[in-house]
Structure 1
Amino acid sequence: MGTGGGLLGLLILIGDIWAIINILQSRSEMGMKLLWVLLVVFLPLLGLIIWFFAGPRGSRA
């Protein structure tokens, strides 16, 4: 009767959406943005972790 799996899935979904928004706002080339978005979409948890440590960041200037 626990909802731990559903809650974890929701948190991963929120993190993925946040990552995709940041990827699209970055100053990287469109091809690199596309590759990062595909990584996050097809490997939600692993892609999010890899993006967090090595991915492009959005421009906050």
Structure 2
Amino acid sequence: MFEYAGIGGLIVLALNIWAIVSIVGSGTTNGSKVLWILLVLILPIIGFVIWFVAGPKSARASV
């Protein structure tokens, strides 16, 4: 049962890393990037969902 918790943690970690990389690559201001990254780091699951819905998209995705 505990091995599933480890897998879930790895999935959340991978999604948060993906979100942070996308935030850094976005075209927004540095202050906005810092706030989004802090949100994702402090609230890993909720922050990721909020970023996914309303956060800045990477510069590559908007082309």
Q: TM-score, normalised by structure 1?
A: 0.94
1:19-55 alpha-carbon deviations (Å, 9 max, x no partner): 0000000000000000000000010001000000000
- Residue in 1 aligned with 2:34? 34
Structure 1 portions without partners, runs of 5+: none
The one-letter amino acid of 1:41's match is L
Counterparts of 1:27 and 1:49 in 2: how far apart (Å)? Answer: 20
What number of residue pairs does the alignment pair up? 61
Alignment of 1:5-20 (within 5 A): 5-20=5-20
Q: Give ranges in structure 2 of 5+ residues lacking alignment.
A: none
Identity %: 46
Instruction: Find the aligned partners of 2:2 and 2:51 in 1 and give their Cα distance.
Output: 30
Structure 1 residue ranges (4+ consecutive) displaced by more than 3 angstroms after TM superposition: none
CA RMSD of aligned residues (A): 1.0
- Supply the AA of the counterpart residue of 2:3: T
Match for residue 25 of structure 1?
25
Any idea what SS the aligned residue of 1:3 has? helix
Q: Tell me, what secondary structure is at the counterpart of 2:56?
A: coil
